[in-house]
């Protein structure tokens, strides 16, 4: 790795590459097709990754922003590029119009761990020295091994999905990045405590998109009761990290369904999330 580790910057660990593709279904073309089942089967097949190489999530969207959301999790951007080509070149691709997309990488922020590692290694090595940087990189690899299942997770099985991008404010009055490391860490701990109250009710996937897309993070929520999204996000807006420093992008909400049910959607029936 060989990078210099800035004690003011929280370290992050990265996992799956994420590509959200949101489409409008061109129903006038769908109605002209003779074999929707074959079109759906081909799309499900070409977007099914090899074992251990990721997953594909299918979501029927609510509202005018899109009819279908396809979320691809792959190892690296090469895999995401192949997935995007696969759906674009399929027969289904001829029936779709891309309305928006989002590129990010599954991310775990490590505010508390960053401070702890700097403190522990700073007592042994001179900060910035080769020995310090090598020890820091080794410790980060150890931490990465501990959380591999969270970085390369299976798609949560919640029936309902909510996706939205967000930023931390960088304005003249409130600038997240101008706050001290300690204050940012304290606010993130408070923010995380609210999320823990919803453990078992909602699964959250945070992805980093700084340098990849127009916002800084993407958030995917999965639950069996869509009201959980409303209650969780409403409660979080009262903590300091959100109330003063968060900017939210558009929200996209829909129903996750099994790939084998894509033909049902094309036929005008709400597709199911099978066992």
Contact criterion met (CB below 8 Å) for 166 and 176 = no
Q: Which residues of 61-73 are buried (b: 16+ CB within 10 A; e: fewer)?
A: beeebbbbbbbbb
Contact 263, 36 (CB under 8 A): yes
In angstroms, the CA 3 to CA 134 distance is: 9
> Which of 5, 19, 234 has its CA nearest to residue 127?
5
Select which of 164, 198, 245, 252 is catalytic.
Answer: 164
Torsion angle defined by CA atoms of residues 233, 238, 242 and 248, in that order, rounded to the nearest 10 degrees: 40
Beta strand 160-168 with 54-61 is unpaired
The residue among 207, 212, 265 whose CA lies nearest residue 27 is 265
CA distance 111 to 12: 9
Backbone phi, psi, residue 259, to 5°: -55, -35
Known catalytic residue: 234? no
Enclosing H/E stretch for 227: helix 227-236
Where in the sequence numbering do the catalytic residues fall? 164
């Amino acid at each position: 790795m060989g990078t210099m580790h800035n004690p003011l910057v929280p370290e992050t660990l990265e996992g799956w590459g994420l590509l959200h593709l949101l489409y409008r279904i061109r129903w006038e073309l769908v109605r002209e097709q003779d074999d929707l089942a074959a079109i759906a089967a081909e799309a499900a097949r070409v977007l099914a990754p090899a074992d251990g190489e990721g997953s594909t999530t299918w979501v029927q969207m609510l509202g005018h922003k899109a009819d279908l959301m396809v979320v691809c999790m792959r190892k690296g951007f090469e895999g995401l590029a192949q997935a995007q080509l696969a759906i674009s070149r399929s027969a289904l691709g001829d029936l779709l119009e891309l309305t928006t997309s989002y590129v990010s990488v599954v991310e775990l922020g490590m505010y508390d761990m960053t401070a702890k590692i700097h403190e522990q290694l700073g007592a042994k090595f001179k900060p910035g020295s080769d020995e310090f940087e090598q020890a820091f990189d080794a410790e980060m690899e150890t931490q990465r091994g501990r959380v591999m299942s969270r970085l390369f997770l299976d798609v949560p099985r919640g029936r309902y999905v909510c996706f939205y991008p967000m930023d931390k404010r960088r304005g003249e009055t409130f600038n997240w990045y101008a706050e001290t490391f300690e204050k940012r860490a304290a606010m993130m701990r408070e923010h995380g405590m609210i999320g823990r109250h919803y453990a078992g009710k909602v699964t959250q996937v945070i992805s980093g998109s700084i340098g990849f897309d127009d916002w800084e993070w993407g958030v995917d929520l999965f639950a069996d009761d869509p009201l959980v999204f409303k209650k969780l996000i409403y409660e979080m807006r009262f903590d300091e990290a959100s109330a003063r420093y968060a900017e939210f992008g558009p929200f996209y909400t829909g129903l996750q369904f099994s790939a084998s049910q894509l033909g049902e959607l094309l036929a005008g029936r709400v597709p199911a999330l099978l066992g």
